[in-house]
Amino acid sequence: MIGLTLFVGVVIANYSENKGTALLTVDQRRWCDLKKRLKIAQPLHLPPRPDHHKFRAFIYDITQNIFFKRAIAMLVMANSSLLCVSWKSDEPHTIPLATVSAGFTILFTIEVTMKNIAFTP
């Protein structure tokens, strides 16, 4: 019984040492490595709130609001779906699609401007 316990302990120790990668395929290991690298590549800190400038602090609060972030994410999704639509210049729905596309460009430009105002030192 002791031998079985030792064997199971060694197997578990080796599995933990390999961090569970022993049973993964090559593609799965590459995916895990990519996830680790992406986790490292993320910014380490959030720029501080500019308390000495009221306007910049107001814009900072807006850009860091969860609803603003979700709205921008939804705009990106909508713009991506718009990019999937094929349209030619002689079709009747060209002008509305071009108008919506220009609207997305304007909104994204406003977002970038707001973040530049909020995050620049």
- The string of pLDDT tens digits covering residues 7-47 is 777 777 776 666 666 677 888 888 988 888 888 877 767 78
Model confidence at 106: pLDDT above 90: yes
Does 61 share its domain with 113? yes
Is position 65 within any domain? yes
Is position 49 within any domain? no
pTM (global) more than 0.85: no
Q: Which domain holds residue 86?
A: 54-119
Structure tokens at 83: 């990019």
- As a whole number, mean pLDDT of residues 82-107 equals 88
Model confidence at 65: pLDDT above 80: yes
Is position 83 within any domain? yes
Of 7, 35, 2, 32, residue with least CA distance to 18 = 32
Q: How confident is the model at residue 94 (pLDDT cuts 50, 70, 90)?
A: confident
**What pLDDT is stored for residue 117 in this prediction?**
93
CA dist., res. 83 & res. 75, Å (int): 12
- Cβ atoms of residues 81 and 104 within 8 Å: no
* Radius of gyration over every alpha carbon of the chain, rounded to an integer in angstroms: 25
Model confidence at 88: pLDDT above 90: no
Is position 69 within any domain? yes
Is position 82 within any domain? yes
Q: How many domains does the chain have?
A: 2
Is position 47 within any domain? no
Q: How confident is the model at residue 4 (pLDDT cuts 50, 70, 90)?
A: confident
Is position 32 within any domain? yes
Does 62 share its domain with 22? no
Does 115 share its domain with 59? yes
**What pLDDT is stored for residue 58 in this prediction?**
95
Does 59 share its domain with 115? yes
